[in-house]
Amino acid sequence: MIWGRYLITAGLQSCRCRVSCQVKRHYSFLPDDVKSLRAVVNPDISKIRNIGIMAHIDAGKTTTTERMLYYSGYTRALGDVDDGDTVTDFMAQERERGITIQSAAVTFDWKSHRINLIDTPGHVDFTLEVERALRVLDGAVAVFDASAGVEAQTLTVWRQAEKHHVPCVCFLNKMDKPAAKLSFSIESIRQKLKANPVLLQIPLGSGKNFTGVVDLLTNQKLTWQQRSMGDDGRVFESKPLDQSDDPELLQEVSEARAALIEQVADLDDEFAELLLTDFSDNFDAVPSVKLQEAVRRVTLARKGVPVLCGSSLRNKGVQPLLDAIVAYLPAPSERHHDLVRWYKDDLCALAFKVLHDKQRGPLVFLRIYSGTLKPQTAVHNINRNNTERMSRLLVPFADQHVEIPSMTAGNIALTVGLKQTVTGDTIVSSKASAAAAARRAQDDSGMGKKRGEHAAVVLSGVEVPDPVFFCTIEPPTMAKQADLENALNCLQREDPSLKVRVDPDSGQTVLCGMGELHIEIIHDRIRREYGIETHLGPLQVAYRETILHEASATGTNISLSKHFLADCVFIGTVTYRYHCQKGLTDTLTQCLLTPSGPLLGYPLQGVSTLIQSVNTEPGTSPAMVSACVSRCMLKALRLAGGQVLEPVMSLEVTVEEEHLSSVLGDLAQRRGTVRDIQSRHDNKVLLATVPLAEMMGYSTILRTLTSGNATFSLELDTYEAMNPQDQNTLLKRMAGL
Ligand SMILES: Nc1nc2c(ncn2[C@@H]2O[C@H](COP(=O)(O)OP(=O)(O)OP(=O)(O)O)[C@@H](O)[C@H]2O)c(=O)[nH]1
């Protein structure tokens, strides 16, 4: 039985089609034999590493994760994305398409350390999934295709890691490719990520002849001899470099080691001092353990990123990467998590992911920051201000889960029974514990009660970007509407980037998502997981609107014998003032927060409102004020003139030179603007901006234009005003003309 994979590289996603399948995985100790894990359910916090694997699509995250699981003893057979039988890509869509959609958590042990690893998606439509994972991780491995260096999505996830101050290790994968180049990749990390790469290894051989690496800290030569086709790379040779080795290699290693020592000394004062006091005669004599300690300090301080290389697919270089995770990435106790100190030893955890399981209901992933989590106990959700009972506690092994009696700070746990909890919620042991933490926070900061108990003791979540695409979704029959609503509710709890609303005019349910692929996957999941064959309307772009100039309007609303007057003025600066009767504030605020544009009813942006006065008579109802303010606003908006803003994407296309001109010609017809054309080996990398509305179905067109020899990535850049001609065309189309 074979899973075939057709890598159609010119795609919003790389599309790998299933031919036929019968997936059977062999887990080393699952489901019956989980002794090794149970033996150390709660390891010492210094031995825990909560890490994520992140990269551009197709860099090899899942392949690398598979090798880690295999070498750690977690699986007994190597999974392969191309065969659709990896552990972490367990959703049917992931296996069919060969891409990661959901971040999956796996727990395994490596050299007496507990590694909680999250494999994150590379496709831009699922960026939020990466950010949610990074929010709760202590370190990350950034995987690169060594022939491509830093690619578009790597930049995005790198920025996310920086935002959450997550120390990283870089892994230059695919060193077996003929175009793989160490110096090019290092330079692109330096240039594009503005990071400080600290090279810890030198590759042995290149392309097909890549056989291993030299560890610059220890001067050990690590070689993986491919004895047979099916060699799993578990066994490799480690021996010191000696004079019998190739003189060129000796020279290269000696220079690279000297450069490493110098670089680390520049970044770490303690190491510099050690060199100058104890090894001033011969820097090279510095013990590797001292160098390793210094590299660790540099990594944790995020002054530099260790760089390793290998080829996961060819089973080379993954064990040293695991060693590097343990050696250089931080334990939970080495990370500073604000707020946690207010809880002392009380439970404080963050819900960072929700999954719906048909049998067990919602499964909530929690990162425990302090205290201990136990099953069959009640926990308090600060964000929702409710208390829920947790029935079971599990350790996540991708789609397999092992039940455990308790879990301590620093770990990632999976809970059953929390039905109200949503991604981003803070979970504590009780309301009293939250109040005690709030008191500690106030005492410590010297701020009075005013600061707000809630804000002080809640862990910050993740910002959810606005969706850029939407379409209507309809059940096959009205009888299925309730089922569809339930499915959408469940999917929304899992995925905060999915928005669902009801169109006020047509009453239709509208799905709003981050891209074509995102909406396609949601549609597919409703069919497979909830058994509802829905119909999707045409995909539409989420435009915005703004006004052209300032305007003011006055309105009067008369009801029975009561009347009042409201004047609204729209101005260009951010000012918001209101003067009204007590009790009407909320109504007015609500009215101002949800205005829609005058042209097509899209959300307004860049508009500020000043209500000059609201005059009411005694007994005027808030609803009347609201209606009057709305009317005034509409009037003022019409007077202010409308302008449609359209989402403009940054596009990166990597294409063979011979196809460049046809890609450029096509882009011109799509109202694209070319920003730069760079060379990458034999390929050209085209950087451009293009309106999202012009990019529907681009993957198919690009595939045709380039005979499948191009890849592209698309990311929201900005919203721009449409020119009058394009705007008119859009208005006519929307009006059905
Ligand atoms: N030549 C070569 N190909 C590799 C290597 N590692 C992975 N690949 C291939 O690259 C493709 C993508 O690998 P994945 O592991 O799915 O990459 P990913 O980063 O997890 O992809 P997404 O989750 O979809 O973002 C697959 O066809 C792999 O077989 C490698 O070391 N060398």
Provide the CATH number for the domain around residue 605.
3.30.230.10
Q: Tell whether 228 is covered by a domain.
A: yes
The CATH number of the domain holding residue 84 is 3.40.50.300
What angle, 0 to 180 degrees and rounded to 10, lies between the N-to-C axes of helices 622-640 and 585-593? Answer: 30
Q: Tell whether 678 is covered by a domain.
A: yes
- 693 and 619 part of one domain: no
pLDDT means per 10 residues in the chain (737 residues)? Answer: 26 30 37 46 84 86 89 76 58 55 73 84 63 80 93 79 89 95 93 93 92 95 77 87 85 94 95 90 88 96 96 95 97 81 85 80 88 92 90 74 85 88 86 85 61 54 70 89 90 82 82 83 87 89 84 66 43 37 48 65 78 70 73 78 88 88 93 90 86 84 82 82 89 79
- 356 and 284 part of one domain: no
Question: Hey, how many other C-beta atoms are within 10 angstroms of the C-beta on 573?
Answer: 7
**312 Cβ below 6 A of ligand 1:** yes
- 616 and 704 part of one domain: no
Q: 273 C-alpha vs ligand 1 centroid, how far in Å?
A: 43
| Domain extent for 604 | 545-640
Q: How far apart are CA 480 and CA 531, in angstroms?
A: 10
Give the per-residue pLDDT at 584: 47
Q: Tell whether 462 is covered by a domain.
A: no
Radius of gyration of the chain (CA): 29
Q: Return the residue whose CA atom lies nearest to atom 11 of ligand 1.
A: 58
Q: 49 C-alpha vs ligand 1 centroid, how far in Å?
A: 24
- 706 and 661 part of one domain: yes
- 41 and 170 part of one domain: yes
- 224 and 188 part of one domain: yes
- 84 and 215 part of one domain: yes
Q: Which atom of ligand 1 is nearest to the CA of 100?
A: 23
Best residue among 54, 58, 64 to mutate for probing ligand 1's pocket (most ligand atoms within 8 Å of CB) is: 58
Q: 98 C-alpha vs ligand 1 centroid, how far in Å?
A: 9
- Given 494, 509, 542, which residue is the final one in a domain? 542
Q: 121 C-alpha vs ligand 1 centroid, how far in Å?
A: 12
What's the half-sphere exposure (Cβ side, CA atoms, 13 Å) at 710? 32
Q: Tell whether 452 is covered by a domain.
A: no
Q: Tell whether 457 is covered by a domain.
A: no
**121 Cβ below 6 A of ligand 1:** yes
Q: Tell whether 303 is covered by a domain.
A: yes
Best residue among 53, 81, 83, 176 to mutate for probing ligand 1's pocket (most ligand atoms within 8 Å of CB) is: 81
Q: Which two tokens stand for residue 292?
A: 């390793």
Q: How far apart are CA 298 and CA 308, in angstroms?
A: 15
Q: 723 C-alpha vs ligand 1 centroid, how far in Å?
A: 42
Give the per-residue pLDDT at 589: 55
Q: How far apart are CA 126 and CA 518, in angstroms?
A: 7
- Given 640, 655, 687, which residue is the final one in a domain? 640
Q: Tell whether 451 is covered by a domain.
A: no
- 486 and 574 part of one domain: no
* 607 three-class SS: coil
The CATH number of the domain holding residue 724 is 3.30.70.240
Q: Is 123 annotated as a binding residue?
A: yes
**What is the number of domains present in the chain?**
5
Q: Is 56 annotated as a binding residue?
A: yes
Q: How far apart are CA 176 and CA 589, in angstroms?
A: 60
**148 Cβ below 6 A of ligand 1:** no
Q: Tell whether 450 is covered by a domain.
A: no
Q: Is 165 annotated as a binding residue?
A: no
**Residues 6+ positions from 183 with CB-CB distance below 8 Å:** none
- 219 and 195 part of one domain: yes
Q: 36 C-alpha vs ligand 1 centroid, how far in Å?
A: 30
- 531 and 580 part of one domain: no
**58 Cβ below 6 A of ligand 1:** yes
Give the per-residue pLDDT at 445: 65
The CATH number of the domain holding residue 378 is 2.40.30.10
Q: Is 59 annotated as a binding residue?
A: yes
DSSP state of 596: B
Question: Hey, how many other C-beta atoms are within 10 angstroms of the C-beta on 225?
Answer: 12
The CATH number of the domain holding residue 495 is 3.30.70.870
- 482 and 598 part of one domain: no
Which helix (DSSP H) or strand (DSSP E) does residue 521 occupy? helix 516-530
Q: Is 61 annotated as a binding residue?
A: yes
- The answer to whether the CB of 275 falls within 8 A of the CB of 287 is no
Q: Which two tokens stand for residue 177?
A: 């490719």
- Given 640, 663, 697, which residue is the final one in a domain? 640
Q: 180 C-alpha vs ligand 1 centroid, how far in Å?
A: 14
- 311 and 417 part of one domain: no
